[in-house]
Amino acid sequence: MATTIVLITGANSGIGFATSKVLACASSTFHIIIASRSLEKAEAAKSTIEAASPKGSLSTVVFDVTDEESIEATAALVQQQFGRLDVLVNNAGSGSMDMDLKARFQLCLNTNVIGPALVAAAFRPLLLKSQNPYSIFVSSGERTLTRNAHEKPASHAGIKNGDAYQVSKAALNMLAILEARDYGPQGLKVFAMSPGFVRSNLRGTSEEARSGWGRAGDPEVSGELVLSIVEGKRDGDVGLFVHRDGVYSW
Ligand SMILES: NC(=O)c1ccc[n+]([C@@H]2O[C@H](COP(=O)([O-])OP(=O)(O)OC[C@H]3O[C@@H](n4cnc5c(N)ncnc54)[C@H](OP(=O)(O)O)[C@@H]3O)[C@@H](O)[C@H]2O)c1
């Protein structure tokens, strides 16, 4: 069976790491490219997954999702090594709740919107060379326009300065909509995906923040959702905003 080449941004931590592990452990047909902005963190993630004796293989690349030049250099490298990309998971993100309004908007929009737009554009030509390409944007189910239009979701209680993150995920959803509209007809299967509320460094690195004050689930559950998408089990929901149990309205 042909290898499925998967590139996951922000794969050294949280959902990106868990997804890399779930896919690598699922099948020998996966080759996972762990993308991180730090070589040290990328190599540590690769070694940790390799210690679990995965069936698939792994490699690492280093780029910051806001650095256009290094994204394009990596796309050229992937072209040279593999000639195509089968799955792109635009996962890297920032949950900045900086007290300074301009600082948090700049960080969230740069990382969660401009970054994925640059990454999607750079890797799109490689995806379009695949027989069965998937482009997945990791969004947030609590940040939809519909769910926030009339009331504050319960999970927002007590969260201060979450405005920039919410705006950035609504904008990311529009990126996914445009990607699906413009490249879906060429065979690109685009999904916006809600990973659920899971353990990671998004809310901070203290145990309290990582565990979402004791409420966060296992990020491998988010990885299982990505696996189901790339295995084609959610193809009926292509172009939509999926979560584990169904589809959200935008
Ligand atoms: N955890 C949840 O409950 C939850 C819920 C809904 C949506 N999400 C989404 O899930 C995605 C993954 O987040 P996570 O929860 O797994 O948090 P995380 O543990 O903080 O992981 C975020 C990853 O993104 C990387 N990153 C941040 N800025 C970057 C940049 N400029 N260039 C390259 N990489 C960068 C981080 O790298 P460093 O390690 O170097 O910082 C890290 O690898 C995000 O898009 C987030 O919005 C998470």
Neighbours of 249 (CB within 10 A): 9
Q: Which CATH architecture has domain 4-248?
A: 3-Layer(aba) Sandwich (3.40)
Query: Would the pLDDT of 135 be above 70?
Result: yes
Round to whole Å and give the CA distance between 228 and 244: 9
Look at residue 146 in the predicted model and tell me its pLDDT. Answer: 85
Segment 152-181, tens digit of pLDDT: 766 665 678 999 999 999 999 999 999 999
Catalytic amino acids?
Answer: 140, 165, 169
Round to whole Å and give the CA distance between 248 and 181: 18
- Kindly give, in sequence order, each residue whose CB lies less than 8 Å from that of residue 158, ignoring residues fewer than 6 positions away: none
CA dihedral 94, 95, 98, 99 (to 10 degrees): 150
Query: Relative to the CA of 139, which ligand 1 atom is closest?
Result: 7
Token pair listed for 109: 């929009």
Look at residue 158 in the predicted model and tell me its pLDDT. Answer: 60
Task: State in Å: Cα 5 to ligand 1 middle.
Answer: 21
How big is the CA angle at 194 (ends 190 and 195), to the nearest 5 degrees? 115
The model's confidence at residue 147, banded by pLDDT at 50, 70 and 90, is: confident
Query: Would the pLDDT of 185 be above 80?
Result: yes
What does pLDDT average to over the chain?
95
To test ligand 1's pocket by mutation, which of 7, 13, 43 has the most ligand atoms within 8 angstroms of CB? Answer: 13
Look at residue 155 in the predicted model and tell me its pLDDT. Answer: 62
Query: Relative to the CA of 11, which ligand 1 atom is closest?
Result: 43
What three-state secondary structure class fits 38? Answer: coil
Look at residue 1 in the predicted model and tell me its pLDDT. Answer: 73
Segment 37-76, tens digit of pLDDT: 999 999 999 999 999 999 999 999 999 999 999 999 999 9
Round to whole Å and give the CA distance between 84 and 7: 11
Segment 190-230, tens digit of pLDDT: 999 999 999 999 999 999 999 999 999 999 999 999 999 99
Ligand 1 pocket residue status of 93, Cβ below 6 Å = yes
Query: Would the pLDDT of 93 be above 90?
Result: yes
Look at residue 156 in the predicted model and tell me its pLDDT. Answer: 60
Distance of CA 21 to the CA centre of its chain: 14
Look at residue 45 in the predicted model and tell me its pLDDT. Answer: 98
Task: State in Å: Cα 96 to ligand 1 middle.
Answer: 11
Burial class (CB in 10 A: 0-12, 13-18, 19+), 206: exposed
CA distances (Å), 124 to each of 59, 133, 175, 243, in order? 20, 9, 13, 24
Look at residue 131 in the predicted model and tell me its pLDDT. Answer: 97
Burial class (CB in 10 A: 0-12, 13-18, 19+), 150: exposed
